[in-house]
Chain A
């Protein structure tokens, strides 16, 4: 199998720690289900990610240097 994370279209995906997640949800004043979603069978997902986890994605942004987004693992 090819290593998907090496492709230039794929940004870095990491599982977000529970504590860090609290801070994020508080900062945006939202629930975890309000976050954009990512499917459990997504090829770019880290192996240890499970349903309900939140993935932190660091994109190389077109408008600034880096942008950080979060996706909730579903289904």
Chain B
């Protein structure tokens, strides 16, 4: 496999490809060689070898406690994260949880985030024409009766009267007949519809029933997705220089949105890792955890946390095929060792339960060995070294 993206000669390609480097580092080597025109093959070889040596040097050593290093590498910048919950994100006027609360929410694998949101990309003409994009907006944003017209109660006749706004109906692509139909279906009442006027009332004249009907009427979603309370439409520039419309939503219903016509089901995402897991599977959830934690840190200017640490966290959280939280209800709580569990949180409960059930601790892990004061099986603790074991006799000892 020879690289063609860079202007270097075949011999250089041969020596670079011969090294044990990953693709991206090879590309960087090519880039450097290309920038310094006229590097000889020998120089290229020397460079490639030097990079390879450095690469092999920086790899994790066997028995390195990568988990501990990750915990510290995320924990230290974590102390600099903001503690306040709400903040307007860089995009659109949508409120999203950021900083420490968001990070905690992610590693705790909360069922629903504090501020669910979706980023909806559109395809084809929906992405380029404003009217088309608005069609999708009305299919997503929940439309309640108050957005469509005025509601008044006629106490004398025991009737609820709705006067719909013609322009709004047209804009939101819904007819008065449909509105009347939805009211009949969800409230179980007979409606009288004339043009944009809709009227209905309780079967038996009752003031209480009348008020209750009005209450219920306000909760009906006539169009769109119930969970999505607001949609913001934004025109964004693509890398290619063209522009497209992107929708940001307050509230999320990832599965439903993917089905809507005009939505690009290959790029649309949401910030609820459980919804992603349900609709796209565990691998996508892992990807989303990395992306979300990384963005949360980057948003606060802490993007120098190496992505490998976040990848390790995401790998642990998705290891069993479903999303598990870090912490006593998830990964820490499912540890084999009693002492390791007790060392984390609610110590007494774990010890008491272990005693009741007669659990045995094999002392295989790190935490339990630290507790009992034995060497841990990590780093130098797991290797045996022998010195001066040669049998050649005198001259050795001094």
Count A-B contacts at CB 8 Å: 80
Q: A7-B265, A9-B269, A74-B321 are in contact. Are A62 and B307 (CB under 8 A)?
A: yes
For B291, the closest partner residue in chain A by CB is: A9
Q: Is the CB of A3 within 8 A of B280?
A: no
- Residues on A with C-beta less than 8 A from B23 are 64-66
Q: Which B residues are CB-close (under 8 A) to A71?
A: 282, 321
Q: Is the CB of B282 within 8 A of A42?
A: yes
| A75 CB contacts on chain B under 8 angstroms | 321
Within 8 A of B (CB), among A37-75: 37-39, 42-45, 57, 59, 62-66, 71, 74-75
CB pair B284–A64 under 8 Å, yes or no, is no
**B95 to nearest A CB, angstroms?**
24
* B contact face: mostly helix, strand, loop, or mixed: helix
B310 to chain A, nearest CB (A): 9
> Chain A: residues with CB nearer than 8 A to chain B?
1-4, 6-11, 13, 36-39, 42-45, 57, 59, 62-66, 71, 74-75
B75 in contact (CB, < 8 A): no
Nearest B residue to A39, CB-CB: B321
The answer to whether B319 touches A44 (Cβ under 8 A) is no
Given A4-B281, A8-B267; A42-B307 close (CB under 8 Å): no
Tell me whether A36 and B319 are in contact in the complex, defined as CB-CB below 8 angstroms, given that A4-B279, A62-B290, A63-B308 are known contacts. Answer: yes
Measured CA separation A42–B281 after assembly (Å)? 5
Q: A73 → chain B, closest Cβ, in Å? A: 9
Within 8 Å of chain A (Cβ to Cβ): is B287?
A: yes
Q: A38 touching B282 by the CB < 8 A rule?
A: yes
Check A44 against B265 for contact (C-beta < 8 Å).
no
For the complex, is B283 an interface residue (Cβ under 8 Å from A)? Answer: yes
The reply to whether B265 and A2 form a contact with Cβ atoms under 8 Å apart is yes
Contact B258 A2 (CB under 8 A): yes
Collect the chain B residues with CB atoms within 8 Å of residue A59's CB. 283
Contact A42 B266 (CB under 8 A): no
- How far apart sit A36 and B286, CA to CA, in the bound complex (Å)? 12
Contact bitstring B272-296, A, C-beta under 8 A = 1, else 0: 0000101111111001101000000
A10/B22 in contact, CB under 8 A: no
A4 to B24, CA, bound (A): 28
B320 located at the interface, meaning its Cβ lies under 8 Å from any Cβ of chain A in the complex:
yes
Distance in Å: Cβ of B86 to nearest Cβ of chain A: 27
Looking across the interface, which residue of chain B has its beta carbon closest to that of A75?
B321
Is the CB–CB distance between B280 and A44 below 8 Å?
Answer: yes
- Residues from chain B with a CB closer than 8 A to the CB of A65 are 22-24
Which chain B positions have C-beta within 8 A of A4? 279-281
Nearest A residue (CB) for B310: A62
* CB nearest to B255 among chain A residues: A2
* Most B Cβ at <10 Å: residue of A4, A6, A9, A39: A9
List of 6 A-B pairs having minimum Cβ-Cβ separation, nearest first: A44-B281, A65-B23, A64-B22, A37-B321, A9-B284, A2-B265
| A38 and B280 contact, CB distance less than 8 A | no
How far apart are B379's CB and chain A's nearest CB, in angstroms?
A: 21
User: Could you say which of A6, A11, A62 has the most chain B C-beta atoms within 10 Å of its C-beta?
Assistant: A62
Tell me, rounded to whole Å, the shortest Cβ–Cβ distance linking A53 to chain B.
13
B282 to chain A: which residues have CB within 8 Å?
A: 38-39, 42, 44, 71
B318 CB–A CB distance under 8 Å: yes
| Chain A CB within 8 A of B311 CB | yes
Q: How far is the CA of A3 from the CA of B269 in the complex (A)?
A: 15
Provide 16 A-B residue pairs closer than 8 Å at the C-beta atoms, listed in order of the A residue.
A2-B258, A3-B265, A4-B280, A6-B265, A8-B267, A9-B276, A9-B288, A11-B283, A36-B320, A37-B320, A39-B282, A39-B321, A39-B322, A44-B281, A44-B282, A59-B283
Residue of A nearest to B258 (CB): A2
Q: How far, in whole Å, are A21 and B315 apart by their CA atoms in the complex? A: 21
Verify if B157 is at the interface (C-beta below 8 Å from A): no
Q: How far is the CB of B69 from chain A (nearest CB, A)?
A: 15
Interchain CA distance A11-B318 in the complex, whole Å: 15
**B398 interfacial by beta-carbon distance below 8 Å:** no
Q: Which residues of A contact B283 (CB under 8 A)?
A: 9-11, 13, 38, 44, 57, 59
Confirm or deny: B259 has a beta carbon within 8 angstroms of a beta carbon on chain A. Answer: yes
Task: Report chain A residues within 8 Å CB of B320.
Answer: 36-37
Cα–Cα, bound, A1→B259 (Å)? 7
Chain A neighbourhood of B276, CB < 8 A: 9
In the complex, chain A residues whose CB is within 8 Å of the CB of B307: 62-63
